[in-house]
Amino acid sequence: MSGCGSGCDDGSGGPMSTGKELVMFVMQAHGGGVAGTDIPNGPLDTKCQGCGEEFQMKTFVDKCPKCGGIHAISPPQAHDSANIQFAGEDFKG
């Protein structure tokens, strides 16, 4: 049991997961309510980890405007774009 307080006690990852696991965790956190929430300190400048396109990540789950690659960041890590995780090129969210 991870005890993260966001329903991750079932082994489905947590806010410090990586890659696809983190993306899925954020998409499901609090009944899906976190995913579309604006990042509190404003958008994060990032580069798509799939195609390399630069874009601004505005919500905790966002997608590349060029290739549609799904990226996520957990609220506890949203202070640094280095914490953005990519679901993978085959992920369809």
pLDDT at residue 10 tops 50: no
- What's 81's DSSP letter? G
- Domain ranges (residues) in the chain: 15-86
Q: Going by C-beta distance under 8 Å and a sequence separation of 6 or more, which residues neighbour residue 31?
A: none
Q: What is the pLDDT of residues 37-72, one digit of tens each?
A: 999 999 999 999 999 999 999 999 999 999 999 999
Helix, strand, coil percentages in the chain from 3-state DSSP, rounded to 5 = 25, 20, 55
Let me know: does 71 contact 64? Beta carbons within 8 Å.
yes
- 31's tokens: 């009944």
pTM score of the predicted model: 0.84
